Amino acid sequence: MFWYKMISTGLLLALHGALQAQESLADSVRHLEGVTVTANRYQEVIPSQRLSGARLEGLNSFSVADAIRYFSGVQIKDYGGVGGLKTVDLRSMGTNHMGVFYDGIQLGNAQNGQIDLGKFSLDNIEEISLYNGQKSEIFQPAKDFGSAGTIYLRTRRPRFEEGKPLNLIAFARTGSFGLLNPSLLLEIKTGRSSALSLNAEYIGASGKYKFRYRKVLADGTTAWDTTAVRQNGDIGSLRLEGGANGFTEHSSWHAKAYFFDSEKGIPGAIVNNVWKRSQRQWDRNFFAQGSFRRQFSGRADLLANIKLAVDRMRYLNPDTTLLYIDNTFVQREAYASLAGKYSLLPDWDINLSADYQWNRLDASLQDFVRPRRHTALVALATALEWKRLKVQASLLGTYVFESVDGRGGEAPAPSGANDRREYTPAVFLSYRSRPEGPLLLRAFCKRIFRMPTFNDLYYTDIGNVALRPEYTVQYNLGLLFEKEYGRGMLSGLSLRADAYYNEVTDKIVAVPKGNGQFRWMMMNLGYVEIRGLELSANLALRPAESMQLGLGLNYTFQRAQDFSSPSDNDAEAGTWGRQIAYIPRHNGSAVANLNWKRWDVNYSFAYVGKRYHNSSNIRENLEQPWYTHDLALSRQLGLPKLKCKLSLEVNNLLDQQYDVVLNYPMPGRNWKMIVRVEM
């Protein structure tokens, strides 16, 4: 029954979508507190940011990565273009520390630890949430405790209007880069309490765009100025997704199968005399996952998850003037998890979860040892509410065993990785100024690590089997002010300020190995200290009748200092104590969406301050700040029985020419037209 209520409330919420701000301004879960027993009353204990509903829909975002750049504390490493790699770095700890969860189960990449968020379409994503530390929920699989920061992508859960057993949503996008992007979503009500959904999407693009590099002399006159077209950035990809979900009075389940197949060019770095490259990459990803949740007697809850995944990647360098490379990598993963929660007292819960994961990597590399990794995780967590104080604490035990191909078959991995035990704690506190008051003080500290990836450990010649895990410690202190107003122009306000200090120890870095032929070795040599401040404000306004205005502002300050090499302490060019590569001291974003009758206008602005592409912060390594203005206009067409929306987007309105990564030019002004039909 509660599911039905949840669904209808969800619909209501979607209607006043403009209110759904990033912070849980109109947090559906909080609204449902009285309705559902599984509601998360600890929601606000951990700093989180959320994009959902109209906010998410309104952003000119092509992929999940584009949307995430509006969060504070986040850096997107973007190699540009439709198919370019896009990864997320939270609070300067490095992309490998970010856990990305798709419908509650982690997306894995044991090979290099990086999840390309450019690959995930927003078409069927309903909500993106980002948590520092871990999700504000103790009732979760052990894996969810295992990252320094987590992103949850939640796909659309079917909802049906009264008497309507079928939803059909079709998208078509076209625009710059030769983009052709149709998608179809079908939702079928298969019973009173179960539904099926099918989603297919194709992305085709030539990936061509003009870019311009220019330098001036000290007096401001042009030294050189060159414009070219980005080549070999083409992509063709197909995504098929099928899901089923259902519920009974005390249980719910969902299952999903995902298939992604793509071929793309790798446009490469633009350097003197080289304006075109020919490397190609093929990806084929498949996974199937299921989740089951049941409630017993109002005090006990059980959650079971299972996943199987196969990822195949082929990289080809057909350019025979260079090293000819044709490598194929196949990763396999199996995962199972069981979590149980028990309420000892109405305000005191404990959770125990146990996960097991198996990974294997095969590669067509010379002398490759085909590593297998068995990971067992056990998490014990508790959540306690005492008057206005909420506490969560968790302890995660991780046990890793690896084996490799040796002489005469499989053998335990040499040193280091063959028998690893790590215990990592986390504590989160929040204190409300007065009961039901708008002001909340919160703090957390968490110690967690990331395992060296298979590439770090076993990549032929570069890998180092002696690597230890890379650890992070995070401390955070923050204030949250949240209030909704019944009358007046301001209908909701949320303000957030968080200050933090992180340490990354035993950071895995590549060091030169011997001389010549650019040989590298992975070593646990890095040490980084990060001090940061995040500020954000979200406002929901009603400037006039039937008009809603949502405003979001984010600002991040980060001082991320490289203390890896004490001897490299030259006053000008040394790296010791200097800002690490690609982390700006200042970055921020502003998002506004105005909804008036059938019209929607969205404006978003992202700013990344000056950065250096190396810890040696000299002028030669300086990267100029960049900022983009994106604008979108959309209108609902009122057709009977057919909901139709037309949108027009312009991105990088002022045609700024910039690199996020050195020598990888980003697109200038580009546009997109979207038709969305729902019936």
Q: Is 37 in the site for another protein (CB under 8 A)?
A: no
Q: Is 378 in the site for another protein (CB under 8 A)?
A: no
Q: Is 516 in the site for another protein (CB under 8 A)?
A: yes
DSSP codes joined into one string, 558-577: EEEEE-S-TT---TTT--TT
Q: Considering only residues 336-355, where is the footprint of another protein by CB under 8 A?
A: none
Minimum distance between the CB of residue 553 and another protein, rounded to whole angstroms?
9
Q: Considering only residues 108-167, where is the footprint of another protein by CB under 8 A?
A: none
Q: Which of 155, 357, 614, 651: binder of another protein (CB under 8 A)?
A: 614
The answer to whether 88 and 106 are in contact (CB under 8 A) is no
* Residue 412 vs 512, nearer CB to another protein: 512
Choose one: 185-193, 336-344, 499-507, 611-619; the region binding another protein (CB under 8 A): 611-619
Choose one: 100-108, 307-315, 429-437, 516-524; the region binding another protein (CB under 8 A): 516-524
Alpha-carbon dihedral sign for residues 25, 27, 28, 32: negative
Q: Which of 192, 407, 434, 619: binder of another protein (CB under 8 A)?
A: 619
Q: Which of 165, 410, 663, 673: binder of another protein (CB under 8 A)?
A: 663
- Name which of 7, 14, 21 is nearest 550 in CA terms: 21
Q: Is 668 in the site for another protein (CB under 8 A)?
A: no
Minimum distance between the CB of residue 512 and another protein, rounded to whole angstroms?
5
Choose one: 196-204, 351-359, 403-411, 518-526; the region binding another protein (CB under 8 A): 518-526
Q: Considering only residues 218-257, where is the footprint of another protein by CB under 8 A?
A: 218, 220, 223-224, 226
Spatial distance between the Cα atoms of 261 and 258, rounded to a whole number of angstroms: 10
Alpha-carbon dihedral sign for residues 404, 406, 409, 412: negative
Compute and round to an integer the Cα radius of gyration of the chain: 25
* Residue 235 vs 581, nearer CB to another protein: 581
Q: Is 546 in the site for another protein (CB under 8 A)?
A: no
Quick count: other Cβ atoms within 10 Å of Cβ 598?
11
Write phi, then psi, for 457 (nearest 5 degrees).
Answer: -90, -40
Spatial distance between the Cα atoms of 672 and 654, rounded to a whole number of angstroms: 16
Q: Considering only residues 85-104, where is the footprint of another protein by CB under 8 A?
A: none
Q: Considering only residues 549-568, where is the footprint of another protein by CB under 8 A?
A: 549, 551, 565, 567-568
Half-sphere exposure of 96 (CA within 13 A, CB side): 21
Q: Which of 399, 501, 607, 671: binder of another protein (CB under 8 A)?
A: 607
Minimum distance between the CB of residue 509 and another protein, rounded to whole angstroms?
8
Spatial distance between the Cα atoms of 313 and 307, rounded to a whole number of angstroms: 20
Q: Which of 32, 107, 541, 560: binder of another protein (CB under 8 A)?
A: 541
DSSP structure class, residue 97: G
* Residue 394 vs 617, nearer CB to another protein: 617
For residues 417 to 456, the per-residue mask of contacts with another protein, x marking binding by CB under 8 A and - elsewhere, is: ----------------------------------------
Q: Which of 573, 633, 644, 646: binder of another protein (CB under 8 A)?
A: 573
341 burial type by CB count under 10 A (0-12 exposed, 13-18 middle, 19+ buried): buried
* Residue 296 vs 324, nearer CB to another protein: 324
Q: Where are the alpha helices (DSSP H) in 382-506?
A: 454-458
For residues 484 to 503, the per-residue mask of contacts with another protein, x marking binding by CB under 8 A and - elsewhere, is: -----x--------------
* Consecutive H or E run containing 423: strand 420-432
Minimum distance between the CB of residue 210 and another protein, rounded to whole angstroms?
15
Choose one: 112-120, 131-139, 319-327, 439-447; the region binding another protein (CB under 8 A): 319-327
Alpha-carbon dihedral sign for residues 14, 20, 22, 24: negative
Minimum distance between the CB of residue 217 and another protein, rounded to whole angstroms?
6
Q: Is 415 in the site for another protein (CB under 8 A)?
A: no
Q: Is 655 in the site for another protein (CB under 8 A)?
A: no
Choose one: 135-143, 241-249, 282-290, 543-551; the region binding another protein (CB under 8 A): 543-551
CA 604 to chain CA centroid, Å, is: 19
- Name which of 528, 527, 537, 538 is nearest 558 in CA terms: 528
Choose one: 92-100, 257-265, 496-504, 610-618; the region binding another protein (CB under 8 A): 610-618
Which value, to the nearest 10 degrees, does the dihedral of the CA atoms of residues 423, 424, 425, 428 take?
A: -160
Alpha-carbon dihedral sign for residues 43, 44, 48, 49: positive
Quick count: other Cβ atoms within 10 Å of Cβ 399?
15
Q: Considering only residues 520-539, where is the footprint of another protein by CB under 8 A?
A: 521, 523
Q: Considering only residues 265-284, where is the footprint of another protein by CB under 8 A?
A: 268-274
Q: Which of 321, 386, 407, 486: binder of another protein (CB under 8 A)?
A: 321
Q: Considering only residues 184-213, where is the footprint of another protein by CB under 8 A?
A: 213
Q: Which of 7, 354, 395, 466: binder of another protein (CB under 8 A)?
A: 466
Quick count: other Cβ atoms within 10 Å of Cβ 559?
15
Q: Which of 376, 662, 675, 677: binder of another protein (CB under 8 A)?
A: 662
Q: Is 8 in the site for another protein (CB under 8 A)?
A: no
* Residue 420 vs 542, nearer CB to another protein: 542
Q: Which residues contact 615 (CB under 8 A, 6 or more apart)?
A: 562, 564, 575, 578, 579, 580, 581
Total residues interacting with another protein, rule: CB under 8 A: 71
| Angle CA 80–65–608, to nearest 5 | 70
Spatial distance between the Cα atoms of 66 and 117, rounded to a whole number of angstroms: 9
Spatial distance between the Cα atoms of 226 and 233, rounded to a whole number of angstroms: 19
Q: Is 597 left (phi over 0), alpha (psi -120 to 50) or beta?
A: left
Q: Which of 324, 475, 485, 599: binder of another protein (CB under 8 A)?
A: 324
Spatial distance between the Cα atoms of 319 and 501, rounded to a whole number of angstroms: 46
Q: Which of 191, 217, 386, 487: binder of another protein (CB under 8 A)?
A: 217
* Residue 198 vs 523, nearer CB to another protein: 523
> Count H helices, E strands: the chain?
5, 37
Q: Which of 253, 259, 356, 627: binder of another protein (CB under 8 A)?
A: 627
